[in-house]
Structure 1
Amino acid sequence: MDTVDRSARPAGTVVDVGLGVVFAAGTAFTAFMLATSWGGASWAFDLAVSLVVGALALLRGRWRPWAAVAGVAVAGAATALSLAADLPQEPAPVPALAMAVLVGSAIRTLRAGPAAGIAAGGVAVVALTWLSGPTGVTTIATAALAGALVLGPALRLSGGGRP
């Protein structure tokens, strides 16, 4: 059995189900809050980004490293678009958490080169988020990525990832 294959372990399934519940609840709550505060269809963009990046995070074990690359790219594109089009700030809490899961998982399981590139992409997305100023969204995105940058290597070194 491959020790980095989460699908072969019941604990990995429980983690993925828990993440799916958190992603679904967070996406619904964020869409509701955006609809009531920004009005109109402002929530639709965040809903789409949350669904895509969240789905990629849940598929991270099957499409390594492509899920991580795609998730960071989608979060980055959404962040740039939200800045340019005056949309609600991205990455919102759910895409930020999903991106952190992708980055942490990449650091834990991939070779050093690809893992470093994915981590650098995540840092670039969070840095881009800060261009719109300090808000709760920037704080959540920064904290989530910082957690991934600490937990990914810690799990790797503890034997839960690639040697």
Structure 2
Amino acid sequence: MNTVERPARPGGTLVGIGLGMVFALGIAFTAYMLIGSWGGAYWIYTTAVAVVMCALALLRERRRLWTAAAGVAVAAVAVVVSLVADLPQEPSPPAALALAVLVGSSTRTLPALPAVAVAAGGAGVIALAWASGPTSVTVLATVPVLGGLVAGPLLRAFAPGRSDGE
């Protein structure tokens, strides 16, 4: 049975709703803060990146590998574009949280090789953010992604009923 055929668990649905609310509030707050500090239309780019990242994180149950790979790619491109175009630094806190969810979820559930690739990609995005300049945004991006890098393998190791063949 694949994830599309499996009925949604009530707990999983509630987690998805809660995560969606956190994402929406985070995106709105970040946009509000950018409007106040950067002015103009700078908030549009950060908001667009965060919306895409958060949507991928909420859709992670459908295709874990593809949503995680797309999330890592979007985050990496966003960091480079924000650096080159002199836009607010990426990943923003909501985008970093979405990246952490994608990395943690995939390292918990994917086979070993794809899980390691996604984890390396997430770490690479954070390294790229640090290379673009250490700021409070970089720290706010690093903390949740590190949490995902730690929590995913721990949950994988201690998952009840998990055999080595999964």
Q: TM range, normalised to the smaller chain?
A: over 0.9
**Take 2:26 and 2:6, find their aligned partners in 1: how far apart are those partners?**
23
Alignment of 1:98-117 (within 5 A): 98-117=98-117
Is 2:17 the partner of 1:52? no
| Displacement of 1:31 | 0.5
Distance 1:146 1:131 in 2: 17
Partner of 2:78: 78
Rounded Cα–Cα distance in structure 2 between residues aligned with 1:6 and 1:110? 17
Contact 1:27 1:47 in 2 (8 A): yes
Letter paired with 2:73: A
Shift of 1:140: 1.3
* 1:94-118 deviation line (CA, Å, top 9, x unaligned): 0000000000000000000001001
Q: Is 6-15 or 78-87 further displaced after alignment? A: 6-15
Distance 1:133 1:80 in 2: 12
Equivalent position of 1:17 in the other structure: 17
Q: Check if 1:125 corresponds to 2:140.
A: no
Runs of 4+ in 1 over 2 A off after TM superposition: 5-8, 160-163
Q: Is 2:29 aligned against 1:29?
A: yes
- Mapped to 1, the partners of 2:2 and 2:39 lie a distance apart of 48
User: In structure 1, what residue type is equivalent to 2:143?
Assistant: A
Cα distance, 1:132 vs structure 2: 2.7
> Given residue 45 of structure 2, which amino acid in structure 1 is its aligned partner?
F
TM-fit CA distance, 1:7? 5.6
Kindly tell me: are residues 113 and 69 of structure 1, through their superposed partners in 2, closer, same or farther at Cα, counting changes over 3 Å? same
| Cross-structure match for 1:68 | 68
CA distance in 1: counterparts of 2:14 and 2:6, whole angstroms: 10
Q: CA deviation at 1:11?
A: 1.2
Distance 1:85 1:23, change over 3 A: same
Deviations 1:34-76 (A, max 9, x none): 0111011000000100100000000000122100000110011
Q: Partners in 2 of 1:100 and 1:142 — Cα distance?
A: 9
Displacement, 1:134?
1.8
Equivalent position amino acid for 1:130 in 2: W
Name the amino acid aligned to 1:43. Answer: W
Please name the residue that 2:156 is paired with. 156
Structure 2 CA distance, aligned partners of 1:8 and 1:155? 20
Residues 1:61 and 1:153: Cα distance change in structure 2 (over 3 Å): same
RMSD: 1.9
- The structure carrying a bigger helix percent of its residues is 1
**TM-score for both structures, normalised by structure 2:** 0.91
- Residue 8 of structure 1 aligns to a residue whose secondary structure is coil
**Identity within the alignment, %:** 59
